Chain A
Amino acid sequence: MVAYIIRRAFAAVVLLLIVSAVTFGIFFLVPRLAGETTQQLASQYVGRDPSPQAVQSIIHNLGFDKPVYQQYWEFIHGIVAGRTFNDGPTPTHCAVPCFGYSFKSHLPVWPDLTQRIPVTLSLALGAAVIWLVSGVAIGVLSALKRGSIFDRLSMGVALAGVSLPIFFTGLLSMDLFSFQWPIFSNLHYVNFTDNPLMWAKNLVLPWVTLAFLYSALYARLTRAGMLETMSEDYIRTARAKGLPERKVVTRHGLRSALTPIITIFGMDFGLLLGGAVLTETVFSLPGVGQYAVQAITDNDLPKVMAVTTLAAFFIVVANLLVDLLYAVVDPRVRLS
């Protein structure tokens, strides 16, 4: 088990390195291959009408005067060992993990990015609770009452849920419940530690909007899984034992039907932590996704690198956790 985790962690590090190298290549190497000069690259980050001296300084400060592999090495080195920058009034040390300084604001990237994590985490957690509970419940009920009005209705809604984009459902819910009937008016993110009640109140709409999409997906998955499981031989065995139907469904049916859901949930949640881009954009939530969008629009490469690496990290960790969890849930799975 320990050996397995170590091996997986090692593989995760390698994967993160590959992800970062590819991202780095896309943003640092490709423009050069496309023929952009260092002056052109740097002039994006010097405001308007830069003097040649300012461009030259920026080229130096941003490290564009070095070969790309060396820039990448310094990037990796910064994450592992930190870096020291000396372009302000005093030298500043950028502590581990140092993702460098924003090309635009010249502020260290990592502290700002980590401030975004609680927002995205709040969004993802709340939505996940809603979609797991509602999606699984609806899926189970639909499967057990297969062909009923409830089944047809909820599957119809679920189809709508997976088909409608967040841009639509989000804006619609906001228009309805924030402006037409201002139950959740003046939405803005409040820290949980500042005011848990306002935190929740302001997140209800984003939660529900995001959860709507996922619970639709999970309801369909759960229903399919449940239908398959409930026709398994061991369910018949459970009934033959004389177990009450409730126990047959929960202890025997749900347990198996939920196992694949765990995998999907882990991946979905990991992905969301890397930024629920659409939901954060629609509801103007200052989360990781909004940060990523901003970073890309600004072509702010250190921010792009940091947010990509962070998102990849979440996915890799989620993957690992899912595999570990799977071994706990399904005794047939051996970690090796």
Chain B
Amino acid sequence: MSKTNPVAASSKAKAAEADAKDADTKAASAGKDAPNPEAFLSVRDLRIHFDTDDGLVRSVDGVSFDLETGKTLGIVGESGSGKSVTSLGILGLHRSKRARISGEVWLDGEELISADPDRVRQLRGEKMSMIFQDPLTAMHPYYTVGAQIVEAYRVHHPQASKKAARGVAVEMLDRVGIPQPDRRVDDYPHQFSGGMRQRAMIAMSLVNNPKLLIADEPTTALDVTVQAQILDLIRDLQKEFGSAVIIITHDLGVVAELSDDILVMYGGKCVEKGTSETIFTAPEHPYTWGLLGSMPRMDRELQDRLIPVKGSPPSLINLPKGCAFNPRCPYAELTGGKSTTETPQLIEVKPGHRVACHLPEEKRHSIFRDEIAPRL
């Protein structure tokens, strides 16, 4: 597991670091510096940068959040916003030598970024586990579903016999709702339907009863009806296991009912963070508005009421100056030019609700009230 090594970093990277530190100092005033001892998971100023031939990619650039046991956090953003990179960073799955990781990840009182990689490995799958987007590619095609669950179990229960582990696998398949689990346990992933595969994937993630479950776009590859079943399953299992859950998605709809808190990411940074209710009822960041507007809803009749976010996600190598969202922001000119010169800080606007936007607070409220809310 590589960490940032300032000595080894190129001068270009160093400059970037300095730049980032600058922003960090300002953010520190917002009072998010110290890890929260209450939280089961506490992420502080997580930065994950990659050296590439084209330059330094700042995939995650100073993200902080807390998550308590039994709670669900939704991380929302477009592809390339850094949400998946964040989750892989928590699990310590960035193995490339070109990855530069800094910040802190506290899991149940243990700091993971500076921890011994093997220690993190032991925690992986045991205390924290992950569900991936496409269960067909995420499961090994050459091993039976059962074997893969057994493997996940036995790596953390080396004393368990194969037979016992198989029993656990069957039980887990049963719990995630696979019919005839004692028979299906010997099937290969390709013999399962998409939804079944994701159930099996969930069974595999939960086999060691992890305290933290990260679900990365768990329903994207599935059709709509199955999506709902899987989300229900995750919610049910969370209750049953009492884990902390992070759901990563580009679709606010997915997290609408599941999440306690929502973190909106853009260009590797957190642009808005709040309770689920706040984000859905009183969002303050224009990007969040866009996400809400592009959320497909059963009750929405007219397609023209969708407010898509125009333009495409920014390049993480050459982020726009100032507010990274400014080229796409319909209200950028209302900031009086600040949006192109100054990086907005994540400021707490209400307890538990933080926004990084240059627009004056009243302006944000009025725009949402007058222009956005009626169209949602």
- A residues near B (Cβ < 8 Å) are 232-234, 236-245, 247, 251-252, 255-256, 259, 329-332
Contacts and interface: CB of A to CB of B under 8 A. Distances in A.
Interface string B115-151: 0000001111110011010100111111010000001
Choose among B88, B123, B152 the residue with the greatest number of A CB atoms under 10 Å from its CB. B152
B331 interface: no
Nearest to B208: A242
Residue among A234, A236, A238, A251 having the largest count of chain B Cβ atoms under 10 Å: A234
Contacts of B141: 234, 256, 330-332
A233 B198 CA distance: 14
Given A240-B205, A243-B121, A256-B141, 18 more contacts: A232-B137, A233-B132, A233-B137, A233-B138, A234-B138, A234-B141, A238-B140, A240-B91, A240-B124, A240-B130, A241-B129, A242-B121, A242-B124, A242-B152, A244-B155, A251-B151, A256-B140, A331-B188
B142 A331 contact: yes
B39 interface: no
Contacts of A241: 124-125, 129, 151-152, 155, 204
Contacts of B132: 233, 236-237, 240
Nearest to A147: B97
Contacts, number: 76
> What range describes how many residues of B lie at the interface?
20 to 34
B307 interface: no
B138 A239 contact: no
A237 B139 contact: yes
A244 to B, nearest CB: 7
Contacts of B190: 331-332
A240 B125 CA distance: 6
B129 A240 contact: yes
8 contacts: A234-B140, A236-B93, A237-B138, A240-B125, A242-B121, A243-B125, A243-B155, A330-B142
A233 B188 CA distance: 16
B117 to A, nearest CB: 9
Nearest to B140: A234
Contacts of B126: 242
A229 to B, nearest CB: 10
B124 to A, nearest CB: 4
Nearest to A330: B142
B156 interface: yes
Contacts of A240: 91, 93, 124-125, 129-130, 132, 205
B159 to A, nearest CB: 16
A243 B121 CA distance: 7
Nearest to A242: B125
Contacts of A329: 142
A330 B91 CA distance: 30
Contacts of A255: 140, 142
Contacts of A233: 132, 134, 137-138
Interface string B186-214: 00101000000000010011000000000
Contacts of B123: 242
Contacts of A330: 141-142
Contacts of B134: 233
A239 B128 CA distance: 12
Given A233-B137, A234-B138, A242 B130 contact: no
B214 to A, nearest CB: 9
Given A232-B137, A234-B138, A332 B151 contact: no
B218 to A, nearest CB: 13
A210 to B, nearest CB: 31
Nearest to A244: B121
